[in-house]
C-alpha cells in the first residue's frame, strides 16, 4: 500500500518557490491526503475522524491545513487511518488511530498531533500499511510494529507490537513497503523478500500460504516493490513491471483477471517504467518519459477505466510522482505542482475546498484557503528603511499579521507584528517599517494568522538594498585560528556567527568605542560561515571561509 523512496531523493529535489508550485512530496490515505511543501512545512486535508490529519482535532477539512509549525519535514507516509513521517534530522513521528499499537508509541489510544517515536535519529524511510508499519534505518536494519496477526511484521511471536521491533539481524535492507496485511522488502543485493497475508498469492512465493517470516521471492533482480491491497506490484532492475496476487478488475495488468501467486509481467512488456503505485483496484505507473499509465478499475486522471492492460492516462509527460489509495490519487508534476482526482470525494480529500468528485486532475493550491482576501503586498526602500505595505479586500476571524524577513529567500525570521481588523468587508491597509534591511537582496512575506491558529503566507517581495558602504574589514579570510574585525564606524554593534544551515553559533555586543574585535574560530570545523554585523544603520553579512 505504501512505499517511500530514500529521503536523499527528496533532499536533492528540494527547491524553494514562492508561488503555487510548491509541493515536494504527497501521500494519499483512504479519504485523506498529506503533502510536504518545498519550504519543509507539512499539510493535510480530508477525513479526520481518527485524528489522521495531525492538526490536534477530529475536524475534517476540504482544503490543506498545516500540521503544527515545523518546517523540517522530509517525507510522509499515510496509512489506513494514521500517518508516519520523518523529519530532516531523521527522527520518526506518528499520529492518528493507534489500535493494535500500530503507531509504535508503546501504548494504545488515538493521537491527534505528531509525537516522536523514541529518541532515535537514524530513520531512513517508513511505510504505513493497513494496520502495521515497517521502516528501514540508515544502518540497513529493518524494523516493524503494529498488527502481526498474519506475520506481516516478519517476526514469529506476539499478535501485535506497540513499539518498533528489529526484524532479524541483517543490516543490508534497502527499502520496504507495507500493504493491507503483508510486507515486501528489498535488500541491497536486489533480492526481494515477503511475509504476511497470502490468500491470493500476493507474496509471490508460488503458494497461497501465509508467511510469518520474510521469505525470498525469485532471484535477486528487483529494483522496487509496492505492497498494496491483496496484490503486489514490482519493478525489476531492467525497468519492467511485474505483479502478483488478486487480479479482480485486471489489476495485475497482464491481460486477464486470473489471480497469480508468482510475479507476472504486464502485457506490454515495456522496459521504461520508473515507478508504480496501487490502490484497492487501480494501478498507476509512471514511465521514464514522465507519462502516466493505468490499469484496473477506477479514475485514472483522464477517465474512469475498467481494463486489464496498461494504457496511457491523458497525454501529459511531466509527471514526477504519483500516490494512489482506495478512492483517490495525488500526483506531482514537473515544477512541483500537486494534482488530485478521485471518486467519491466524501471528505474533501482533493483539497480544492469542495467535496466534488473529479475524474480529471484538479490542482491543489499552494496557498492555504483562509478567510482573507489579499489586494496587494509591496514594499520600497526609503532613508535606509524597508517600508512594507499590504491591503486586504475582506477579512473573517483574522487575528494578526506577522512580517517575516530573509536575506537568502530560504530562512525567514519574524521582524514585526500588526493586529488584523478581524472581520471586514471593506478594504483595509497596513504598513510596517523594517529599520534593518541588509545590503543586497531582502525578502519579505506576510504571515496571516487566523483566530484558530491556521495561517497562510502572502506572495514574496524582494527589495534590493544597494548601500555598499563598508562597515568593517574582515581578515584574514580564509581564516584558520583568529578572525579580526576592523570597524569604520562608531556606535554599538552586534555580531552574529551563523552556520550555513542557519544555526546561530555566536552573538556578541561590541561597545561603540571599540574599533577592533577578534573571534576565536579555532574550535569550529572547516567550512563556510556567515558573519552578521548589526548596527543602527542595518545589517551587513560576510561569508567566512574557515580552513
Higher pLDDT, 278 or 343: 278
Q: What is the mean pLDDT of residues 332-336?
A: 91
Distance of CA 529 to the CA centre of its chain: 28
- Identify the structural domains of the chain with CATH numbers, from first to last: 2-364 (2.130.10.30), 389-465 (2.60.40.10), 472-546 (2.60.40.3080)
Q: What is the mean pLDDT of residues 134-155?
A: 96
pLDDT for the residue numbered 467: 64
Cα 101 to Cα 208: distance, rounded to the nearest angstrom: 27
Higher pLDDT, 489 or 420: 420
On the CB side of 81, how many CA atoms lie within 13 Å of its CA?
A: 15
Q: Sorting pLDDT into bands at 50, 70 and 90, what band is 91? A: very high
pLDDT for the residue numbered 149: 95
Lookup result for grid cell 508516519: 84
Residue 395: closest CA among 423, 375, 369, 376? 423
pLDDT for the residue numbered 392: 87
Q: What is the mean pLDDT of residues 100-125?
A: 94
Handedness of CA 210, 214, 220, 221 (dihedral sign): positive
- The answer to whether residue 8 scores a pLDDT higher than 60 is no
**Run of H or E residues at 276:** strand 273-278
Which value, in Å, is the radius of gyration of the alpha carbons in the chain? 26
Q: What is the mean pLDDT of residues 246-253?
A: 96
Q: What is the mean pLDDT of residues 197-224?
A: 97
- The answer to whether residue 199 scores a pLDDT higher than 90 is yes
Contact indicator for 349, 340 with CB cutoff of 8 Å:
yes
Q: In Å, what is the CA distance from 498 to each residue of 162, 190, 408, 439, 527?
A: 41, 42, 13, 17, 12
Point out the least confidently predicted range of 48-52, 103-107, 434-438, 481-485. 434-438
Q: Sorting pLDDT into bands at 50, 70 and 90, what band is 3? A: very low
- The answer to whether residue 537 scores a pLDDT higher than 80 is no
Number of residues written out for the chain: 547
pLDDT for the residue numbered 455: 73
- The answer to whether residue 21 scores a pLDDT higher than 70 is no
**DSSP code string of 408-421:** SSSS-EEEEEEE--
pLDDT for the residue numbered 257: 97
Of all residues in the chain, what percent carry a pLDDT higher than 70?
93
Point out the least confidently predicted range of 75-79, 225-229, 464-468. 464-468
Cα 268 to Cα 274: distance, rounded to the nearest angstrom: 15
pLDDT for the residue numbered 470: 52
Q: What is the mean pLDDT of residues 367-395?
A: 80
Contact indicator for 51, 63 with CB cutoff of 8 Å:
no
- The answer to whether residue 259 scores a pLDDT higher than 80 is yes
What is the pLDDT of the chain when averaged over all its residues?
A: 88
Q: What is the mean pLDDT of residues 168-197?
A: 97
Q: What is the mean pLDDT of residues 468-495?
A: 81
- The answer to whether residue 190 scores a pLDDT higher than 60 is yes
Q: What's the 3-state SS for 120-169?
A: CCCEEEEEECCCEEEEEECCCCEEEEEECCCCCCCCCCCCEEEEEEECCC
Point out the least confidently predicted range of 256-265, 309-318, 411-420, 488-497. 488-497
Higher pLDDT, 399 or 14: 399
- The answer to whether residue 373 scores a pLDDT higher than 80 is no
Cα 435 to Cα 415: distance, rounded to the nearest angstrom: 10
Q: Sorting pLDDT into bands at 50, 70 and 90, what band is 62? A: confident
Out of 21-30, 165-174, 498-507, give the one with best mean pLDDT.
Answer: 165-174
Higher pLDDT, 417 or 422: 417
- The answer to whether residue 448 scores a pLDDT higher than 90 is no
pLDDT for the residue numbered 14: 31
Amino acid at each position: 500500500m505504501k512505499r517511500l523512496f530514500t529521503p536523499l531523493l527528496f533532499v536533492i529535489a528540494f527547491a524553494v518557490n514562492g508561488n503555487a508550485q510548491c509541493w515536494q512530496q504527497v501521500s494519499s490515505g483512504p479519504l485523506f491526503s498529506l503533502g510536504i511543501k518545498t519550504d519543509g512545512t507539512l499539510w493535510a486535508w480530508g477525513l479526520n475522524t481518527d485524528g489522521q490529519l495531525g492538526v490536534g482535532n477530529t475536524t475534517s477539512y476540504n482544503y490543506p491545513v498545516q500540521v503544527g509549525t515545523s518546517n523540517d519535514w522530509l517525507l510522509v507516509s499515510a496509512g489506513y487511518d494514521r500517518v508516519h513521517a520523518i523529519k530532516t534530522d531523521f527522527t520518526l513521528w506518528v499520529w492518528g488511530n493507534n489500535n493494535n499499537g500500530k503507531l509504535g508509541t508503546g501504548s494504545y489510544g488515538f493521537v491527534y498531533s505528531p509525537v516522536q517515536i523514541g529518541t532515535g535519529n537514524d530513520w531512513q524511510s517508513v511505510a504505513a500499511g493497513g494496520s502495521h508499519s515497517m521502516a528501514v534505518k540508515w544502518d540497513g536494519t529493518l524494523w516493524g510494529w503494529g498488527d502481526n496477526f498474519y506475520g506481516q511484521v516478519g517476526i514469529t511471536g506476539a499478535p501485535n507490537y506497540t513499539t518498533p521491533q528489529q526484524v532479524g539481524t541483517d543490516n543490508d535492507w534497502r527499502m520496504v513497503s507495507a500493504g493491507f496485511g503483508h510486507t515486501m522488502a528489498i535488500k541491497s543485493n536486489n533480492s526481494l523478500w515477503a511475509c504476511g497475508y497470502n490468500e491470493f498469492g500476493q507474496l509471490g512465493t508460488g503458494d497461497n500460504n501465509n508467511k510469518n517470516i520474510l521469505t525470498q521471492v525469485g532471484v535477486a533482480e528487483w529494483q522496487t516493490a509496492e505492497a498494496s491491497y491483496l496484490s503486489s506490484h514490482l519493478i525489476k532492475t531492467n525497468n519492467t513491471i511485474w505483479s502478483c496476487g488478486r487480479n479482480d478488475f485486471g489489476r495485475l495488468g497482464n491481460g486477464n483477471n486470473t489471480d497469480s501467486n508468482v510475479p507476472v509481467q504486464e502485457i506490454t512488456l515495456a522496459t521504461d517504467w520508473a515507478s508504480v503505485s496501487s490502490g484497492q483496484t487501480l494501478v498507476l505507473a509512471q514511465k521514464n518519459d514522465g507519462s502516466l499509465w493505468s490499469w484496473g478499475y477506477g479514475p485514472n486522471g483522464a477517465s474512469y477505466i475498467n481494463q486489464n492492460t496498461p494504457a496511457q492516462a491523458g497525454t501529459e509527460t511531466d509527471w514526477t510522482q504519483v500516490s494512489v489509495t482506495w478512492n483517490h490519487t495525488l500526483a506531482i508534476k514537473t515544477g512541483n505542482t500537486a494534482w488530485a482526482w478521485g471518486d467519491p470525494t466524501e471528505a474533501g480529500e482533493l483539497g480544492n475546498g469542495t467535496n466534488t468528485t473529479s475524474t480529471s486532475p484538479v490542482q491543489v493550491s499552494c496557498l492555504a484557503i483562509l478567510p482573507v482576501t489579499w489586494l496587494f503586498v509591496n514594499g520600497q526602500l526609503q532613508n535606509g528603511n524597508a517600508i512594507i505595505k499590504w491591503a486586504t479586500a475582506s477579512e473573517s476571524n483574522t487575528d494578526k499579521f506577522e512580517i517575516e524577513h530573509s536575506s537568502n529567500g530560504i530562512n525567514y525570521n519574524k521582524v514585526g507584528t500588526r493586529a488584523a481588523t478581524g472581520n471586514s468587508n471593506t478594504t483595509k491597509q497596513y504598513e510596517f517599517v523594517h529599520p534593518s534591511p541588509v545590503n543586497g537582496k531582502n525578502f519579505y512575506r506576510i504571515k496571516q494568522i487566523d483566530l484558530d491558529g491556521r495561517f497562510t503566507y502572502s506572495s514574496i517581495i524582494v527589495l534590493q538594498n544597494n548601500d555598499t558602504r563598508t562597515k568593517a574589514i574582515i581578515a584574514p579570510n580564509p581564516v584558520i585560528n583568529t578572525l579580526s574585525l576592523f570597524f569604520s564606524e562608531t556606535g554599538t554593534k552586534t555580531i552574529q556567527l551563523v552556520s550555513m544551515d542557519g544555526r546561530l553559533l555566536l552573538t556578541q555586543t561590541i561597545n561603540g568605542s571599540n574599533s577592533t574585535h577578534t573571534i576565536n574560530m579555532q574550535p569550529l570545523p572547516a567550512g563556510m560561515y556567515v558573519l552578521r554585523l548589526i548596527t543602527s544603520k542595518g545589517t551587513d553579512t560576510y561569508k567566512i571561509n574557515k580552513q
